[in-house]
A and B are shown apart, each in its own frame.
Chain A
């Protein structure tokens, strides 16, 4: 099992990354609504298709993001005998 310090660090990193993703998604969905309004398609199926496409890629982005964070920190933990060091953490 991965050391708890690595697990905690990875989960925290995932949370921070997901916070950023949430903000960015909200902006992009707002853009979709704006474009749909301009095109007169706000109350049509086109709006839902556009949002759904964006959500499909968002799920994939978040899943891959979480996996990459775990892979990166898991390897860092292995190299440093299970204890993430300040240099492995990078800028504070």
Chain B
């Protein structure tokens, strides 16, 4: 939601930038400039804000003390509902946007890098982890990834590596990626 709101604010409130750009192009006589130049500037700004939001989510999930029942939720992707209380059920339609996808892919990359150093991991677990990571990557490559499948796989990966000291940074990143999907791990 937050990235969407930032994007919405930029698009709704920044037509003056387009005006200034075209005016400067006209006056300077530089008519051959690439037409998507301004779009690139906008994308870079959104990436910067997206990174800040990622950090905020990581900080929020990293500070959450184990065993408590309270949490601060910073929603990144469009989300339909917050569920609270034992036994409550609800149907959620959730999508992974491109920044969420990048965050998950980055987290998976760090997990794979951490695996060779994780001596406490059985060979069979290592092979299964590799297999699941490949599955998540291929799911994310689809135009409309199955969020449920991605969420389930990431949760499985996170619970497998959470006790491995060598994979601690990877676990933090995965925790952040899962927070984007509405799963808050300790």
A51 an interface residue at 8 Å Cβ cutoff? yes
Known interface pairs A47-B27, A66-B9; 12 further A-B residue pairs with C-beta atoms within 8 A, sorted by A's residue number: A11-B5, A26-B16, A42-B27, A48-B28, A55-B20, A59-B10, A59-B44, A60-B44, A63-B49, A67-B53, A74-B74, A78-B73
Q: Which residues of A contact B (CB under 8 A)?
A: 1-2, 10-11, 14-15, 18, 21-22, 25-26, 29, 33, 42-48, 51-52, 55-56, 58-60, 62-64, 66-67, 70-71, 74-75, 78
B21 near A55 with CB under 8 A, answer yes
A67 near B2 with CB under 8 A, answer yes
Per-residue interface assignment for chain B, residues 31 to 70, with 1 indicating a CB less than 8 Å from any chain A CB and 0 otherwise: 0010001100110111011001100100000000000000
The minimal Cβ–Cβ distance linking A59 to chain B, given in whole angstroms, is 4
A55 near B41 with CB under 8 A, answer yes
Chain B interface bracket (under 10, 10 to 19, 20 to 34, 35 or more): 35 or more
A-B contact count (CB 8 A): 111
Q: A48-B33, A70-B2, A74-B74 are in contact. Are A1 and B27 (CB under 8 A)?
A: no
- For B1, B81, B82, the residue with the greatest tally of chain A CB atoms inside 10 Å of its CB is B1
The list of the 4 closest CB pairs from A to B, nearest first, reads A59-B45, A18-B13, A51-B24, A63-B49
Q: Per a CB cutoff under 8 Å, which of B5, B24, B72 touches A66?
A: B5
Q: Per a CB cutoff under 8 Å, which of B1, B10, B80, B82 touches A63?
A: B10
What are 13 sample pairs from A and B whose C-beta atoms fall under 8 A apart?
A26-B20, A43-B28, A48-B24, A48-B25, A48-B33, A52-B37, A55-B38, A60-B48, A63-B6, A63-B48, A66-B10, A66-B49, A74-B2
